[in-house]
Amino acid sequence: MGFVGSVASGRTRLTAPAATASQVNVPRQALFKLDMEVATTEKRKRASPRKGKAAVARKETVVEKVPNKVEAPKKTRAGAGMDSSLMAYLKEIGSVHMLENEEVVECSRSVQKLLMWESKRSDCTKQLGRDPTYVEWANALGMPHTRFVPELIRLRNAKERLISGNLRLVVSIAKKYVSGTTLSMLDLIQEGSLGLIRGAERFDASKGFRFATYVSWWIRQAIYRAANESARPIRLPSHLSTTTRKVGRVKKALFLKLSREPTMEEIAGEMEMPVEKLLFVLEKNKETETVSLDKPIQGMSGENVFLSDFIVDERITPDECVTQTLLRDDLENVLSMLTDTEKQVMRMRYGFDDGAMKNHTQIANLYSVSPVKIRQIETRAMRKLRHPSMNRSLKEYVQPN
């Protein structure tokens, strides 16, 4: 379910029930060619006509209205095919009525009441083993069904208004993370919107904090976590990722202070961390680093080549496979000229069967003889194999000419 219903005459018509954090569906499309500044500003209370703009009371962190005319930037992250969709989305959330502080307080109270009702519904589900009907849900709350349904719709619409009225705040925060992550703008908006929902569900107006100030932390936290998880193919836990970035900052600060590369002990001391833990963090960070084989590299001729062009393929080629097969057949033919004992000793000595070469003592233990006896058998077999009539077929493998 979307955050915003159809928009007409500057007002929002919300017809669908409010979405939960797992159901929200902010469009996932390519980054809109956007060259506008949706900035965080200080919203002032409505001033009286006599005092004008000078009469400023309490301030609230809000987002400026999205302008109707938008110019596209020179570069885009995912092409121009999806720009119109994002433009429509931004225009839609830009036309949503922004809530006054009194409306925010009222909506937040409705959200808390809705969460209490949802908790009661979960209890009924556990007891019944299925989702309760509206009548059963109303009975669990001690309300008549005729009054329960309209009130439920009102509460869900209040949650919808609270969320949709602050989607521009998500955009203003998300645009700050675009350059530092592989996620597109709309991916960041999607994750930030989930953080907005979590913040809206936890906001308590009685504490005296501004809603925008409170949910900004949840939005940033959701965007930061998503950007961190997508930063590398092998995911690094958030706490290790945070520590790694802190190590980089501390290392740079110490370098400027000491005019030399700091030691691990100095970095660990500055971070108040054991050296063993610091080495562990750096080791795990190094283990999870990856490089794309399709990464372009500037060649000597000026043409771009790829990293995969410099990596030797260790797989056996068809020619080598044929050569090894023929060599093994010729070795078997040569070994067949030896006695059975000599043949078995040579096969175990040089690992013809399992690839594991055994020494004289290991072979002697298998035959219950002395190692000297095995050495004598090997010497006799090698003398036979060195005869020109025996090794003629093998010379071409060591002397290709």
DSSP bridge pairs for 43: 60
- Residue among 218, 279, 288 at smallest CA distance from 243: 279
Going by pLDDT thresholds of 50, 70 and 90, the confidence category of residue 384 is confident
Confidence of residue 389 (pLDDT cuts 50, 70, 90): confident
Q: Can you give the pLDDT at residue 153?
A: 93
Select, from the ranges 95-99, 183-187, 207-211, 250-254, the one with the highest average predicted confidence (pLDDT): 250-254
Q: Which residue has the higher pLDDT, 284 or 297?
A: 284
pLDDT at residue 90 greater than cutoff 70: yes
> For residue 114, what pLDDT is reported?
93
φ, ψ for residue 296, nearest 5 deg: -75, 140
Measure CA 223 to chain center.
11
The residue to which tokens 């979960």 are assigned: 122
Q: What is the mean pLDDT of residues 230-244?
A: 76
- What string of DSSP letters covers 345-384? HHHHHTTTTTS----HHHHHHHHTS-HHHHHHHHHHHHHH
Please give the average per-residue pLDDT across 232-250, as a whole number: 80
| Angle ∠(58,37,7) on CA atoms, nearest 5 | 80
What's the mean pLDDT when you consider all of the chain?
A: 76
Residue among 165, 184, 47 at smallest CA distance from 106: 165
Inform me whether the pLDDT recorded for 235 exceeds 50. yes
Sequence letter at residue 57: A
Q: Residue 30 pLDDT more than 90? A: no
The residue-averaged pLDDT of 230-241 equals: 74
Is pLDDT of 260 > 50?
yes
For the cut 80, the answer to whether the pLDDT of residue 86 exceeds it is no
In this prediction, residue 73 carries a pLDDT of 38
pLDDT, average across residues 133-144: 91
Quote the pTM value. Answer: 0.50
* 391/333: higher pLDDT: 333
Q: How far apart are CA 24 and CA 42, in angstroms?
A: 28
Which is more confident, 283 or 85?
283
Separation of alpha carbons 1 and 3, rounded Å: 7
pLDDT digits (tens, 9 = 90+) for 309-336: 777 777 888 888 888 888 888 888 888 8
Is a pLDDT exceeding 80 seen at residue 289?
A: no
Asked whether residue 248 carries a pLDDT value surpassing 70, the answer given is yes
Each residue of 145-173: pLDDT tens digit? Answer: 889 999 999 999 999 999 998 999 999 99
What is the tens place of the pLDDT at every residue in 38-75? 333 333 334 334 444 333 333 333 333 333 333 333 44
SS (H, E, C) 41-97: EEEECCCCCCCHHHCCCCEEEEECCCCCCCCCCCCCCCCCCCHHHHHHHHHHHHCCC
* CA 131 – CA 114 distance, rounded (Å): 17
